[in-house]
Amino acid sequence: MDLDVTGVAHQGVFVARHEGRVVFVPDAIPGERVRARIVEERRRFARAVALEVLEASPDRRPHVLPEGGIDRAPGQRAGSADFGHIALPRQRELKATVLADALTRIGRFDAAEVAGWRLAVSPVGAEAGRDATDRPGLDITARPGRRWRTRETLHVDDAGRCGPYAARSHTVVPVAGLPLAVDELEELGAHRRPWPGHERVQLVIDEAAPFDAPGRARVIVDGGRGRTVLRRVHGVDFAVDEAGFWQVHRDAPATLVDTVAGLVDVDRIDADAPHLDLYGGVGLFAVWLARAGLAVTTVEADARASELAARNAASLGRVDARCEPAERFLRREAQQAPAGMYARSLVVLDPPRSGAGRRAIADLVRLAPAQVIYVACDPVALVRDARLLVDAGWRLDRLRAFDLFPHSHHFETVASFVR
């Protein structure tokens, strides 16, 4: 069937209508007409795969990852760069559209107010400092938005071949190159080697080694051995488990630290009050808040990450690293903390993709801190939790969004809430 693509939905899937029903179709761009095949039908919607572009958008480009292009069979398209066929400025416009739609449709914020915010998903690092126009005819190796990943995860199939998965499947797609990875990771050549008997291959940068030195780029097989790599943010070193979580974009940690620091309302908080860093990982935000003179409790459920948070903050003396689920910590504090204990406090939370959730937000509201700064990798989870805070008397006073995942539908948002 032929479909006219009209918009973009959450998770970066494009939207068309057919016989009164919404059809989700990847590998397209709003404004295009594509030939597609229905692969799943539900009562209210259907899913399709695009087979051919009949009327192309002026924003269509050769896919940044050639194995992800629409010229390949749908089941053999690498799914790790789902916006890779779109000019980079248009990618950011589409992400801003997704954020605005989430705020109004799911978060129930006033549409006129949201429009007045002039939401933008901003480039970072090298892309922020130069013209990122992705022109027609530009050589694929010169396209902006490449070489930002400091960690790359490849899956291994039963034949030992490695690569990203195809979209919505566990089919491994071998790739000739890793255009989103920093050069040092691609130069390892791990994506060109067989890995029989293994399940996953991760490539990671260790900044303990000088640039281009042996050992700086490392191959981690099947979850690693518990060793650490060093990551550096504004000259401060963080130990991270070699297979553990760390913001993958080379400029993401500094961008997020700077944004959180810039959003802190110093007139509302007291440096001597108890401050919280929830879902704190290895202590990125806790360390920077402590360096600014705040006493911080950082809470992380993963034992390894919590151990490293304590190590990363040990020299500061103002960070208490707790290993427990943030939800359990909040519930106990909501029940036991004296009234007004957090009245001049800052709470930073960086929950997983699913968000903090109704119960955790309810307990956070009971603590009544002076300011909440919420770091989100999923706009829908953010706005659901934002609505809970606003309904409890908070105000969303500032919102920033960053393109920390070029050529994919993902982006990061940082929001500040005050009472």
The closest alpha carbon to 401, from 143, 124, 81, belongs to 124
Task: Please choose, from the candidates 166, 137, 191, 209, the residue with its C-alpha nearest in 3D space to the C-alpha of residue 72.
Answer: 166
Query: Does the annotation place 165 within a ligand binding site?
Result: no
CA–CA distance, 180 with 71 (Å, rounded to integer): 20
Nearest CA among 150, 31, 160, 36 for reference residue 93: 31
Q: What is the pLDDT of residues 314-351, one digit of tens each?
A: 999 899 999 999 999 999 999 999 999 999 999 999 99
Given 94, 377, 383, 404, which residue is catalytic? 377
- What pLDDT is attached to residue 20? 86
CA proximity to 21, closest of 40, 357, 107 = 40
- Note the pLDDT of residue 206: 96
Characterise 342 by phi-psi region: left (phi > 0), alpha (psi -120 to 50), beta (else): alpha
What confidence category does residue 126 fall into, taking pLDDT thresholds of 50, 70 and 90?
Answer: confident
User: Burial level of 259, CB count in 10 A (0-12/13-18/19+)?
Assistant: buried
Say what the pLDDT of residue 267 is: 96
Query: Is 212 labeled as ligand-binding?
Result: no
Q: In this structure, is the dihedral angle defined by the CA atoms of residues 173, 174, 175 and 180, taken in order, positive or negative?
A: positive
CA–CA dist 284, 298 (Å, integer)? 10
Assess whether 377 carries a catalytic annotation: yes
- Are both 2-60 and 101-126+250-418 of the same fold? no
Residue type, 212: D
Q: Specify the CATH class of 2-60 in words.
A: mainly beta
- Domain 101-126+250-418: which topology? Rossmann fold (3.40.50)
pLDDT in tens, 166-188: 988 999 999 999 999 999 999 99
Distance of CA 395 to the CA centre of its chain: 24
The whole-number average pLDDT for the span 286-293 is 95
CA 171 to chain centre: 23
Domain ranges of the chain: 2-60, 101-126+250-418, 144-241
Structure tokens at 226: 């518990």
Residue 40 assigned as binding residue: no
Per residue in 45-97, pLDDT (tens digit) is 999 999 999 999 999 999 999 999 999 999 999 998 999 999 999 999 999 99
pLDDT for 387 beyond 90: yes
Q: Distance of alpha carbon 336 from its chain centroid, rounded?
A: 34
Q: How many C-beta atoms surround the C-beta of residue 236 within 10 A?
A: 15
222 is in an annotated binding site: no
